């Protein structure tokens, strides 16, 4: 990450004390981190070109208690300005009303966790995806559900990612190839298979059903 100083002593970063910067073990903010890192790579590590992505990532970490809450001015951002995503009223509403997705944050809820992947094929019924997620999160199940979403390219046309609660990751075929560059790198579909307790395909279009049946 590029940094610039003006008539200041050189800043030498030091590692935080143990536990002062919790790791994102459940990948709650991974989507925002990947977008930020991709932006840096695209812009030759010029951080000034990726301020919106950086703010979204930091905001996610602060909202999920993965870092201490700081005034945006102290982090080099103008508190009156916001990224396009943060300024969207639907995004703000979701952030204010969503449930915590990190197990250690849900201190009043001792339910065991079950990991669910929702797979969406290219059916118009995908418009019901936000409702399906809401029903799962609001259910009286004896389990607390942690959800990830896998969609086809066609399925992406039928819902707006802003309608998905913050913290729920959405993956597609492009992510599969972005993660794997060389032998030994993580393979997305394998990691998801190890993570999930249940894989639900909803909706399942007729074409995908035919492929599964053969």
pLDDT tens digits for range 51-109: 888 888 888 888 877 777 777 776 777 655 444 444 333 333 333 333 444 444 444 45
Is 209 in the same domain as 117? yes
pLDDT score of 31: 82
Q: Is residue 93 part of a domain?
A: no
Is 134 in the same domain as 209? yes
Q: The tokens of 70 are what? A: 């700081």
DSSP string, 86-121: HH-HHHHHHHHHPPP-SGGG-TT--PPEEEEEEEE-
Q: Is residue 181 part of a domain?
A: yes
* Each residue's pLDDT tens digit, 120-168: 988 888 999 999 999 999 888 899 999 999 998 888 888 888 889 888 9
Is 209 in the same domain as 119? yes
CA-to-CA distance for 183 and 99, rounded, in angstroms? 37
The range of the structural domain enclosing residue 48 comes to 29-75
Is 130 in the same domain as 198? yes
> pLDDT band at 182, cuts 50/70/90?
confident
List of long-range contacts for 17-25, beta carbons under 8 Å, 24+ apart: 21/66, 21/67, 22/65, 22/66, 22/67, 23/66, 24/61, 24/64, 24/66
Q: Quick check: helix, strand or coil at residue 191? A: helix
Q: Is residue 167 part of a domain?
A: yes
> pLDDT band at 3, cuts 50/70/90?
very low
Q: Is residue 61 part of a domain?
A: yes
Q: Look at the chain and report how many structural domains it folds into.
A: 2
Query: Between these two residues, 103 and 171, which has the higher pLDDT value?
Result: 171
Q: Is residue 46 part of a domain?
A: yes
Sign of CA dihedral 193, 199, 204, 210: positive
What CATH number is given to the structural domain containing 168?
Answer: 3.40.50.1950
> pLDDT band at 33, cuts 50/70/90?
confident
Is 121 in the same domain as 205? yes
* Each residue's pLDDT tens digit, 17-32: 444 456 666 677 878 8
CA-to-CA distance for 47 and 2, rounded, in angstroms? 6
Least confident of 26-35, 113-122, 165-174: 26-35
* Nearest C-alpha neighbor of 201 from the set 140, 123, 134: 123
Q: Is residue 194 part of a domain?
A: yes
CA-to-CA distance for 15 and 169, rounded, in angstroms? 28
Q: Are 173 and 153 in contact (CB under 8 A)?
A: yes
Average pLDDT over residues 3-26: 53
How far is CA 71 from each of CA 58, 119, 129, 189, rounded to the nearest angstrom? 11, 38, 35, 38
Q: Is residue 208 part of a domain?
A: yes
């Amino acid at each position: 990450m590029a940094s610039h100083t003006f008539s200041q002593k050189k800043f030498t970063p030091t590692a935080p004390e143990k536990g002062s910067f919790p790791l994102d073990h459940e990948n709650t903010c991974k989507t925002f981190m990947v977008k930020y890192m991709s932006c840096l790579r695209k812009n030759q590590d010029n951080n000034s070109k990726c301020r919106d992505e950086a703010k979204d990532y930091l905001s996610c970490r602060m909202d999920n208690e993965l870092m201490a809450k700081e005034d945006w001015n102290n982090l080099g951002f103008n508190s009156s300005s916001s990224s396009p995503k943060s300024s969207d009223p639907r995004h703000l509403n979701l952030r204010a009303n969503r449930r915590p997705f990190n197990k250690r944050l849900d201190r009043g809820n001792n339910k065991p966790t079950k990991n669910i992947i929702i797979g969406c094929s290219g059916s118009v019924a995908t418009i019901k995806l936000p409702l399906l997620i809401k029903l799962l999160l609001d259910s009286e199940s004896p389990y607390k559900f942690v959800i990830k979403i896998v969609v086809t390219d066609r399925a992406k046309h039928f819902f707006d990612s802003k309608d998905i609660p913050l913290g729920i990751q959405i993956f597609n075929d492009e992510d599969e190839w972005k993660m794997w560059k060389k032998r030994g790198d993580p393979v997305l579909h394998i990691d998801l298979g190890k993570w999930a307790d249940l894989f639900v395909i909803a909706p399942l279009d007729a074409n995908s059903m035919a492929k599964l049946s053969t």
